[in-house]
Each structure stands twice: as C-alpha cells, then as structure tokens.
Amino acid sequence: MGAYDLVVVGGGTAGLVAAAGGASLGARVALVERDKLGGDCLHYGCVPTKTLVRSAKVAHTLARARDFGMKPVRVEVDFPAVMERMRRAVETVGAHDDPARFERMGVELYLGKEARFESPRELSVSGKRLKSVSVILATGSHSVTPRIEGIEEVGYVTHVEALGLERLPSSLVVVGSGPIGCEFAQIFARFGCRVTMVCASPLPLPREDPEIGEALLRFLEDDGVAHHGGFVAREARAEGGEKVVTAYDADGQAVEARGEEILIAAGRAATVGGLGLENAGIAQVSTGVMVDEYLCTSAPDVYAAGDVTGKHLYTHVADYQAKVALGNALFPIKRKADYSVVPWTTFTDPEVARVGLTERQARERRDDVKVYRYGFDDLDRAVADGEPNGFAKIVTDGKGRILGGHIIGPDAGNLIPEVVLAMRRNIPVQALSTTIHVYPTLSEVVKRAADNYYREKLFTGRNRKLLSAFFGLKRRLLS
C-alpha cells in the first residue's frame, strides 16, 4: 500500500498546479489521470480554440484588405492546414505538461488509470491501494447535451469532436450561445461556413451585461452568423442531406435551423462518474462536488479544485483554487477562497472581458449607481488600427468605488486587468483617470471611460456654476 501526503485525482490545470506545488514543498505526492496531462484546457479548450480564433481573425483581416489600403485579396482557407497549425500549437504548449517534467519534480504519476474512493483517505487505482493524508479532487467538467428529440440518431459534435474535424462543413448549426458557442460560431463563419445559432437566451453571452450582448450580436451578424435568440432546441431530424434542428420560443412559435453538422455548446457538468464518492461520504450539488469556503468537501481532508466544484469554470480560477486547496490540504492554517473579484474573457473578435457586477445587477443592489463609457470608435489607436468596434463600461457607486468593468473591443482580455486590480485594491475610478497612460494605446479606453467621472463631477450642475462664477471673478479682478 502506497502512503502519500497528498493524492491528486485529475491532471488538468487544477490537478497539475496542486501536484507540482505539493511536490515543491517536499510532500510525497501522487497524481492520477485517466487520460493525458493538461486536461480540457490544453487539448480541447483554451489553447486549440484560441489558435483557431487567431487563424479566423487572419482570414477576416485579409478579407478586409481594401480597408487598409490594399488591393482586394481572395481569401482561401486551407482547413486541414489550419487544424494542423492548431495541433502544433497544442504540442508546443503541452511541453509544459510533459509527464517527465512532473516526475522530475517528484510527483508519482498514475497515467491511464481510474481512481475510486474506498474511504476518505484511501483510493483504489487499477487494483492498487493508495493511502493519503489528504486528497484533492480535480477531475474537471465535460460537455452536456440537452434533451433534443432525435439528436442521437441524427448525430452531432461537441467542441471536442469539432477540434478533430479534417474537413470544413459547408454549414453548421450551433446550439448554445455561451463562450464556446459564440467563439465556434464566429470561427467557422470566418472560415466560410454558413452558421446558424439557436439559443434559449435572447442575446449571446447571457451572463454578460445586455448592452455587451447586443453589441456582440451585431458583430456576429456582420460575420454572417444567423441568430435565433429566445428559442429552445427541442427536435432534430435528417432531411435532404442536412441536419435540421427545430426550436420553439415561449409562445410556441417554431424556427428551423439547417446545416451539414450540429455543434452542441449548451453547458457543462462536473466529471465525477466512477469515483465512488459515496464511499468517502462526499456530497454533490447540482453544479458539482459540494465544497465549503475552504474548498473542503463533506469528507474530512478531501478537497476539490477546478471545474468539479462548479464555481467559475475558467482555467485561471482552477489555478487559483488549486493553490488554496493545496495550502489547506497540507497545513493546519486554512485560507478561504475569495471570488469577490473574478475576471473572464470570451475570445470572440472583438473580445468580451468582464469583472464584477453588470449595470443591472448593481442597480438591483443599490440606488447610487453611476456608469461611465467610452467607445473604441473615438479612441485614436483603435481608429488607426482599423478596429473601432466596441466600448468600455465602468460601473461604480456614488463615491466612485468600482463595482464592475465591461469591455467589448480589440484585446479586451488584456485591457481588463487594470480594472481588476483597481477593484481588488479598492482604487476608485478617479484614480484610473489621473493615471498617465501611454498614447496612443488601446489601454486609454479605460482611462477615457474613467475621465467621465470628472466631467460629471466638475462640468455639470452646481459645480459648473461655481466654476463659472470663480472664473468670472478672476476676470473682473484683472480688468
């Protein structure tokens, strides 16, 4: 029987961070992974999809050659070459998750093995018993398929199978309008595929500020994506060499979306099957494994991190949770997980980045909400780059404390951290305005939005009258 300080189940982002961190601290660590190290992010998520996003943007830019003073270019997408580039990128980035690297750190790997709890501190792994002081569950999540009559007979792909395609389908029906659905819809549309989105929410990215969703919808439609918002997919059938999805709105009105292929991007669920959670007394909730504020499950000394917790399904959150769970699993002093300031980005073009409350959420909680905006179409660098799409929106309370930040525009994911830091350190919006930003850069969009705080405070209402009186007095003294 092997005895460990820590056994980590799952080799995605959370599992790798926890295992590497534990080994670096001198703990004896075992890592169990039934497939490949790297998890969904490396093999089926962040890395491959962002590679495709870039290729799609290049195709889109070439199609806009005339906008940049070039002669028109006939864009021909070599889809197999695009997919090969994607695989090379995954291979290159995957070097960080090479099993040999973790073995050199001192992590004992059980690859291609299934783990099952026998008790809170004992797991069976392919017939071998592993006993450990603590366990961290990091088994991630997987795509779920909604109830659509006939979908199994007709056939469909998730983002996982879509990344394995070798031929570009002529047309595609995307069911779902979250980050995965929006990114894939735009990617395939820019590659020349006819794309139709069907989603229950009226706007894409339903978790975002409606103003953001409205703007993104316009950009997707500009790329040729047909959108049926407020329709729930209920039936699927094959007809005339196509796959047909029938969806209904709240009044029972139906729409049909036709395509060569169907992509299901309608949510994810925690991966917990076969783990024997009941043997360890680990409780589950609808979103995943139940954890407390210290990321401990209902079983003593069994912690969880990443998507399996059902909390903020993002790689950067998995990384953060892994560090919290690791410290709590190994040491007596416990730290709470803090989700008060969590940013995220959807990598459409333009990108959508967010942190904190939407305007609607803020107004539901308080009555002194202020909103400051600035458009990329009025930002010098964005105009020069030919990327004048979108805006920045900062939501504050009456005293200038930032409650939320929203950016839809070029490179939004790299612009939002300034707002994230301000929220994290309680820096007021006026400080963003008085901070010198390099000109001309896209980062000025945050500053320009914050500048509106002073325009409102100094140049309107009573303050404007006082300033006018002051300047008038100065003129009279000089005359």
Are the C-beta atoms of residues 108 and 70 closer than 8 Å to each other? no
- The structure's pTM equals 0.94
Please write the tens of the pLDDT for every residue from 435-460: 999 999 999 999 999 999 988 876 66
Cα three-residue angle 408-409-410, rounded to 5 degrees = 145
Q: Residue 217's pLDDT is what?
A: 98
SS3 state of residue 337: coil
What is the CB neighbour count within 10 angstroms for residue 215?
A: 21
Token pair 């659509």 in the structure block, residue: 148
Q: Considering only CA atoms, which of 348, 379, 344 is closest in space to residue 216?
A: 348
267 annotated to a ligand binding site:
yes
Q: Residue 1's pLDDT is what?
A: 45
Please write the tens of the pLDDT for every residue from 269-294: 999 999 999 999 999 999 999 999 99
Instruction: Give the C-alpha separation, 57 to 348, whole Å.
Output: 9
What is the CB neighbour count within 10 angstroms for residue 268?
A: 20
- Domain 151-266 - what CATH class? alpha beta
Strand partners, 302: 135
343 annotated to a ligand binding site:
no
SS3 state of residue 32: strand
177 annotated to a ligand binding site:
yes
Are the C-beta atoms of residues 325 and 7 closer than 8 Å to each other? no
The domain 350-461 belongs to what CATH superfamily?
FAD/NAD-linked reductase, C-terminal dimerisation domain (3.30.390.30)
141 annotated to a ligand binding site:
yes
Please write the tens of the pLDDT for every residue from 131-180: 999 999 999 999 999 999 999 999 999 999 999 999 999 999 999 999 99
Delimit the domains of the chain by residue range. 2-141+269-330, 151-266, 350-461
Distances in whole angstroms, Cα of residue 102 to Cα of each of 108, 377, 386: 8, 48, 45
140 annotated to a ligand binding site:
yes
Q: Residue 2's pLDDT is what?
A: 54
- For the chain, list residues with pLDDT below 70: 1-2, 458-464, 467
- Domain 2-141+269-330 - what CATH class? alpha beta
176 annotated to a ligand binding site:
yes
Amino acid occupying residue 31:
L
The most distant pair of C-alpha atoms in the chain lies apart, rounded to whole Å, by 97
Q: Which region, left, alpha or beta, applies to residue 105 given φ > 0 means left and ψ of -120 to 50 means alpha?
A: alpha
Same fold, 2-141+269-330 and 350-461: no
50 annotated to a ligand binding site:
yes
Instruction: Give the C-alpha separation, 247 to 232, whole Å.
Output: 5
306 annotated to a ligand binding site:
no
Q: Residue 469's pLDDT is what?
A: 76
287 annotated to a ligand binding site:
no
41 annotated to a ligand binding site:
no
What is the enclosing helix (H) or strand (E) of 131?
strand 128-137
Token pair 């290729």 in the structure block, residue: 55
